Chains A and B, each alone.
Chain A
């Protein structure tokens, strides 16, 4: 298998976007020992990223079989809204769209787990019900071939200057999420907007450079790897690093002015059929063993904020001034507010202009 084919597979596998076309897939992880319980895990995260963790968990709990049902985030959200009303038969819900998960938990969907004293930062958990377990910075990605090293910019202001100085050079070669279709994109842009006025100018500069919008991280990384795009903005760092590791000619830059950090989260719904085993799985993800395994296999960054060789940027220790975690707290309800969403999308549209689908090229 060629490197690009592997990359395509991986990126496909890691897809997180809210692409409406994505169908529900089911994966079965039989118990290594004699099965006592079968956990039903509903996730909006690709199976390839979770597989190593699931298998490592089963090494500690050979009696647990897991049925992994994969959704796109919006579908998972809708599915769970319904499930929460009655008995859904779901044991675990896992997604990167933490605003959606928080809304579900706020509506009384989750069970308390008694895991409030883990080593992870306070902002990763809420009500002892919803737990973030990954540390995923939003990064800027450059194609090494398409962007001269001296053009690599490490703050948003510098990026704006680059685009202003020579608007035509990168016109049509910058990609980012279409926030109307990407949950991650919406979440990042909303927090960018909250972080300061600079984001408005970024949007404006991107719009002037005829930014290419895409539903999904995969598509953007794919286009970057292929050289169709030169710069990708606000992409999930863990996926970008995975692409670099898979051989893509990409330079991953962690912004030095401020860095948004997302924590993928999981909860156990009320009336979960196998609450004990489900809790054990969450506990595993939060444990030192689970964290180490996640960094080795799927999610390159850790909560200590240490630098990663494949990424260009500062360390992000908990006390870092530039660290902007997307806190799992009632603040996320603002993101989920329908009126706010409507306004943010309106603002975004007017700044960026008409969306262009990168995949359409």
Chain B
């Protein structure tokens, strides 16, 4: 049982790829956002530090007094973040604010000691700000010491830059992920292509072809093909074993049965005594002989049935000319009929068919057996003076009919007689109970035709003759010759 309701392999793999890509994408997005934030900070921090240093540079002394003159350029630099508010303060060594926002140095704590400048985050007047600080030593002041510059700027421009960078990175990421996903789809399809090839090969081959698959496959599905081949090999071996067994069994049954019936015959011949006892023995012998004959015939038909059934399931079909088949069967019948016990003397045999071959797809030997059975039946039970095989090309189907001038099979029995062991006394009886197994012949023919996708039918012709017709699908157009 194949669980075909499961998710398709393709969908499963692409789903997995999509999931992995989604997780990766989210992760990369977070990283990109953080990186963009860092890059924006870095860019604007440089500007702020530059501005702070410029302001620190502008501090000078005049008459020992410390003076500041924040240059335009410092503010121009800061104005590169066009819409951000700017706060600054310049504080002398004593902590007194020389200019700018008096409350700024107390509000932010970024210590420029050491490097000469530093950046950090803070809050000023309730607004989150980035803070840059710079210091400069003034040696010629009244009290020499460090001048400190604190510079604070709101985060709008750097936020916008970070957002812009993030959006661009995400867009790029999305495009790449999409391309990657599409590539993955293609790759998965390509990877699964060999499976489709195996499937196609399996579908296209003749169901009876049990040879190993001979197609190039990647290593990964080699095991699958190997398993299929292993299975078909086992099946094929199993079939061969079964076939040998049937043949062997057939032989094993036939030989002793032949010996038995031979001995019974001899016994009957040698019983020549007279008197009541001898009469009684003879009567018993006659019954034994009849039973033995019946057993022999039945065995033959059963084995035939088995062999034919087995054969049509395992032999590949090939084009067969129905006309040629019909002639052959009729010639065999003509030869046999000459000496046959059951054939009426002076039987008129005839073949009717077109000059051109009537090609059907099938197993010639099984068909010959089936037809032979029909002819045999007709000879034994039907034909009085005439037996004909007629072939017709019906376009798409070939028809072969065995026609005799006998009584035929009554319509009510027709369906039944094609079933094994129900041949029954439907037809004109000749000889003792010989018709018991006649149905097996029809049954075999019916099975063979069914295996060919065809049909067996009984027809009473306009002139009163009786026909058994076999219709079989025509061989495919030669154009499709593989």
A residues at B contact (CB < 8 Å): 105-108, 122, 126-128, 194, 327, 329-334, 337-340, 342-343
Q: Output the least CB separation between A60 and chain B (Å).
A: 29
- B99:A343 contact, CB within 8 angstroms: no
Instruction: Write the chain B residue with the least CB distance to A332.
Output: B75
A194 vs B127: C-alpha distance when bound (angstroms): 32
Main secondary structure of the interface of A (DSSP, over half): helix
Shortest Cβ distance from residue B154 to the other chain A in the assembled complex, whole angstroms: 9
B298 in contact (CB, < 8 A) = no
Cβ–Cβ < 8 Å partners of B82 in chain A: 122, 126, 329
CB contacts (< 8 Å) of A330 on chain B: these are 75, 78-79, 84-86
B83 at the interface (CB under 8 A from A): yes
User: How far does the alpha carbon of A60 sit from the alpha carbon of B408 in the complex, in Å?
Assistant: 111
Which residues of B (66-114) have their CB < 8 Å from a CB of A?
Answer: 67-72, 74-76, 78-79, 82-88, 90, 98-100
Is B480 in the interface zone, CB < 8 Å from A? no
Q: Main SS of the interface on chain B?
A: mixed
Residues of B within 8 A of A332 (CB): 75
Cross-chain contact B75 with A331 (CB below 8 angstroms): yes
Q: Is the CB of B99 within 8 A of A106?
A: no
Please measure, in the bound complex, the distance between the C-alpha atom of A9 and the C-alpha atom of B79, giving whole angstroms.
41
Chain A residues closer than 8 Å to B200, beta-carbon distance = none
Q: A330-B75, A343-B69 are in contact. Are A337 and B100 (CB under 8 A)?
A: yes
A339 touches B68 (CB 8 A): yes
Given contacts A106-B86, A108-B127, A339-B67, contact A331 B72 (CB under 8 A): yes
B99–A194 CB distance below 8 A: no
Please determine whether A343 and B72 come into contact, CB atoms closer than 8 angstroms: no
Residues of A close to B79: CB separation below 8 A: 327, 329-331
Inside 8 A of B219's CB, which chain A residues have their CB?
A: none
Q: How far is the CB of B98 from chain A (nearest CB, A)?
A: 6
Q: Which residues of B contact A (CB under 8 A)?
A: 67-72, 74-76, 78-79, 82-88, 90, 98-100, 125-127, 156
Question: A143 CA to B318 CA in the complex, in Å?
Answer: 122
Instruction: Determine the chain A residues whose CB is within 8 A of the CB of B126 once the complex forms.
Output: 108
User: Which B residues are in CB contact (< 8 Å) with A334?
Assistant: 70-72, 74-75
Q: Other than the known A333-B75, A339-B69, A343-B69, what 18 A-B pairs have Cβ atoms closer than 8 Å? A: A105-B85, A106-B87, A127-B85, A128-B83, A329-B75, A330-B84, A330-B85, A330-B86, A331-B76, A332-B75, A334-B71, A337-B68, A337-B69, A337-B70, A339-B70, A340-B68, A340-B70, A340-B99
Q: 5 A-B pairs, CB-CB below 8 angstroms? A: A105-B85, A108-B125, A330-B75, A334-B72, A337-B99
Determine the distance from Cα of A340 to Cα of B71 in the docked complex, in whole angstroms: 8
B72 touches A194 (CB 8 A): yes
Contact of B99 among A107, A108, A338 (CB under 8 A): A338
- The 5 lowest CB-CB distance pairs between A and B, nearest first, are A339-B99, A339-B68, A127-B83, A331-B75, A329-B79
Query: In the complex, A339 Cα to B62 Cα: how many Å?
Result: 13
Residues of A near B85 (CB, < 8 A) are: 105-108, 127, 330
- Chain B residues with Cβ below 8 Å from A329 are 75, 79, 82
* Chain B residues, Cβ within 8 Å of A340: 68-70, 99
Complex Cα–Cα for A339 and B98 (A): 7
- Expressed in whole angstroms, the minimum distance between the Cβ of B182 and any Cβ of chain A is 39
In whole Å, how far is A267's beta carbon from the nearest beta carbon of chain B? 13
Query: CA of A340 to CA of B126 in the docked complex: distance in angstroms?
Result: 27
Report how far A208 CA is from B138 CA in the complex, Å.
Answer: 37
Shortest beta-carbon distance, B82 to chain A, in Å?
7
Task: Give the Cβ gap from A123 to chain B, nearest Cβ, in Å.
Answer: 10
Tell me, rounded to whole Å, the shortest Cβ–Cβ distance linking B145 to chain A: 18
Instruction: Say how far A83's CB is from chain B's closest CB, in angstroms.
Output: 16
Q: Which residue of A lies closest to B70 (CB)?
A: A337
Within the complex, the shortest CB–CB distance from B333 to chain A, in Å, comes to 105
* CA of A9 to CA of B270, assembled, Å: 168
* A190 CB → nearest B CB, Å: 9
Interface centre among A329, A331, A334, A337 (most CB of B within 10 A): A337
